[in-house]
Amino acid sequence: MANYIMVVGTSSNSGKTTLVTGLCRLLANQGYEVAPFKSQNMSLNSRVAKEDGEIAVAQYTQSLAAKQEPSIHFNPILLKPKGNFISQVIVHGKPFRNMNYNEYRENKNFFLKKIKESLEKLKDYDYVIMEGAGSCCELNLLEDDIANLRIAEIVKAKAILVADIDRGGVFASIYGTLKLLPERWRKLIKGIVINKFRGNLEVLKDGIEKIEELTGVEVLGVLPYDEHLTLPEEDSQSLSQIKYLGDKRSKITVDVVRFKKIANFSDIDPLRFESFIRFIDFDEDIGGDILILPGSRSSTTEAHYLNKNNFSEKVREFLKEGGILIGICGGYQTLGEKLLDPNNRENFLEEVEGLKILEAKTTFEGEKVIKNSIGVFKNYEFLGYEIHEGRTYTKERRFLKIKRGFGDCGDGYDGSIKKVGEGLVIGTYFHGILENTKFREYILNKVCERKGLDKIEVKDRYREMLEKSFNHFAKVVKENLNLEILFS
């Protein structure tokens, strides 16, 4: 029977995800079989699990930290916001229904049943490290909360409360959270972790002693603010704080359009090692060597704003000068002539003109595609994952021959590849395409050839970075927290 540990927070972004990740790797390094778990997550950044179902990127990443193959049971409920207070609800990896909060709340018992089914699947692991959502004590939501201590109560988990000191008011947030929790849930909290501290620990001593006296709960330790921890971002809101990634000294620059409904933006992370990445808005000029139109929850919305800002003219000038344009999933859909959404599956725009770079059109029809996929390009097999609702019908030369997956419309091919002026256009439904070193090498050396630079040999530094981050944070957790109460 598994041992259950739950990490809950005084607020969103308190550090729950990273602490769960660190605990998963710490225990996995000690030889334990470990499963991450988050009963309900809300994110537009998702990946495909081994069962060809969707889970949040955080639980996917925690799976890698735990040295496990990602499973739909690590994140049984995923909410993907669509706008107008409506989310697409993913249950056990598959689309269930579009629902507003009241509809979701009314179906709480159904979702709780699905969560329990997943917990049953995980009972044979040595440890299940569970992550809460947001604050574990939102008084207006407690009755319907199926993401926090109600789940810990079901499996009799030991819970840790994490608080972010970098925001200020850490002791008040800890005290307020514990005092406002229902008594039966407060008893589940076995320890407190203060996160993101900068400075001399001595200044916290009096505060820690006082909060332990007031609450009766032990402070397990203080985690330092760590600028070296690099994990895929879960929330698109984090992008509002990011303008650049990578090395400014790089001779290759990549521009990424900051879409309104950007999704799966972790696709571009692998490029940070060989290039300098800039996020640009619709009204900004293109100044890089490579332009990426990323994934989006609503490509019809993105196409509307691209056209509103005359982006097509900028793209054609960019391609004329030899630039490389890559459209991934929603970005690929915007490259065609039209996007047709007669049943308003994306929003309320039933027909939108694309950038007309590719002779193609996208129609939103059929079941949502969720696949771990393999495609072949220039005799190389490229791995990726597909999460899309559209079907794209193209007259262009196809980019990938599908060995496993769905592609554009289930016809055995994915994407389009085309020369425009001196430039190159690639559109694909393959998220994760840039994690393939041979594909990055192909694209980056196209730029090197045009600019007269030496060829680049690309190594898998992205996976190396993840492994280094996992092991580094496991070490930080071990050195700074007294976890004996959790493992005894």
Matching CATH number, 243-459, of 3.40.50.10490, 3.40.640.10, 3.60.20.10, 3.40.50.880: 3.40.50.880
What contacts 339, CB < 8 A, 6 or more positions away? 299, 300, 303, 333, 351, 352, 353, 354, 361, 362, 364, 390
Question: Would you place residue 226 in the very low, low, confident or very high pLDDT band (cuts 50, 70, 90)?
Answer: confident
Burial of 316 (0-12, 13-18, 19+ CB in 10 A): middle
Residue 422, number of CB atoms within 10 A of its CB:
11
Question: Would you place residue 461 in the very low, low, confident or very high pLDDT band (cuts 50, 70, 90)?
Answer: confident
Q: Where in the chain is the domain with CATH 3.40.50.300?
A: 3-230
Query: What is the pLDDT at residue 241?
Result: 61
Q: Where in the chain is the domain with CATH 3.40.50.880?
A: 243-459
Query: What is the pLDDT at residue 84?
Result: 78
Least confident of 17-31, 214-228, 374-388: 214-228
Compute φ and ψ for 338, nearest 5 degrees: -145, 155
Judge whether residue 330 has pLDDT over 50.
yes
Query: What is the pLDDT at residue 135?
Result: 95
- Asked if residue 392 lies in contact with residue 336, where contact means CB atoms within 8 angstroms, the answer is yes
Which amino acid appears at position 480 of this protein?
N
Query: What is the pLDDT at residue 239?
Result: 52
pLDDT digit string, tens, across residues 39-86: 999 998 999 999 999 999 999 999 999 999 999 999 999 999 987 789
Q: What is the 3-state secondary structure (H, E, C) of 316-348?
A: HHHHHCCCEEEEECHHHHHCCCEEECCCCCCCC
Judge whether residue 236 has pLDDT over 50.
no
Task: Please state, in angstroms and rounded to a whole number, the distance separating the CA atoms of residues 336 and 206.
Answer: 63
pLDDT digit string, tens, across residues 102-158: 999 999 999 999 999 999 999 999 999 999 999 999 999 899 999 999 999 999 999
Give the mean pLDDT of the chain: 93
Judge whether residue 238 has pLDDT over 60.
no
Query: What is the pLDDT at residue 233?
Result: 61
Which residues are known catalytic residues?
329, 431
Percent of the chain at pLDDT > 70 equals 97
pLDDT digit string, tens, across residues 156-180: 999 999 999 988 899 999 999 999 9
Which residue, among 195, 67, 197, has the nearest Cα to 470 in the 3D structure?
67
Structure tokens at 333: 């859909």
Residue 225, number of CB atoms within 10 A of its CB:
14
Matching CATH number, 3-230, of 3.90.1300.10, 3.40.50.300, 3.90.850.10, 3.30.390.10: 3.40.50.300
380-394 and 398-404 as β-strands: parallel, antiparallel, unpaired?
Answer: unpaired
What contacts 398, CB < 8 A, 6 or more positions away? 408, 413, 414, 415, 416, 417
What contacts 182, CB < 8 A, 6 or more positions away? 142
pTM of the model: 0.92
Task: Please state, in angstroms and rounded to a whole number, the distance separating the CA atoms of residues 6 and 268.
Answer: 31
Structure tokens at 234: 């879960």
